[in-house]
Amino acid sequence: MQLMSRSSGDRLRRHLGVLVAIAALFAAACGGAMAQTANVTVEAASAPPPAPPKLCGPASGAYKICVNPDPIATTGAPGANVTITWNLTSSGWSFVKNKGIVIKPMNAWKVPEISPTQYKATNKREGGVLYKYEINVTNGTTKLSWDPTIEN
């Protein structure tokens, strides 16, 4: 009986080792996904120009949209998963419903709205392909749009 117990324990340890190795490979693969975060703000049109990497679009009435960084440069090897998250941090403003971030051309990008103040885009790293994208925000009465750049 002792021999059988030891033998099944060895098998259990072997299976556990295989499971740990698979989990480590999965974690390494998931760790290969590169993430970028861009902060979007709405500022007074009269605010002074910001220092790079923050950039503002042209004033539209009393406001302008700013994003940090611009351009958004994805990293990683071509073919690796990339994620870009946009956070709108200006009080009283939200992304336009279902049109807050629109990548042009859309190609393989997936761009779901996470919340009224957050969008997340995913794609594969393409190695230097440039995309324009449109930011659309509103405070309920005013709508602003601007086209910064993604370097994927």
Sorted by where each begins, the domain ranges of the chain are 1-31, 33-151
Token match 């693969």: residue? 29
Is 112 strand, coil or helix? Answer: coil
Give the tens place of pLDDT for each residue, 61-100: 999 999 999 999 999 999 999 999 999 999 999 999 999 9
Quick one: CA dihedral 63, 100, 39, 58, positive or negative?
A: negative
When pLDDT is cut at 50, 70 and 90, the band that residue 8 belongs to is low
Q: Assess contact for 44 and 54: CB atoms under 8 A.
A: no
* Distance separating alpha carbons of residues 101 and 57, to the nearest angstrom: 15
Q: Assess contact for 70 and 149: CB atoms under 8 A.
A: yes
pLDDT of residue 110: 97
pTM: 0.78
Integer-rounded Cα radius of gyration of the chain:
23
* Distance separating alpha carbons of residues 129 and 13, to the nearest angstrom: 47
pLDDT of residue 135: 98
Percent of the chain scoring above 70 in pLDDT: 78
Q: Which amino acid is at 94?
A: S
Domain covering 33-151 in this structure, CATH number: 2.60.40
Q: Assess contact for 145 and 100: CB atoms under 8 A.
A: no
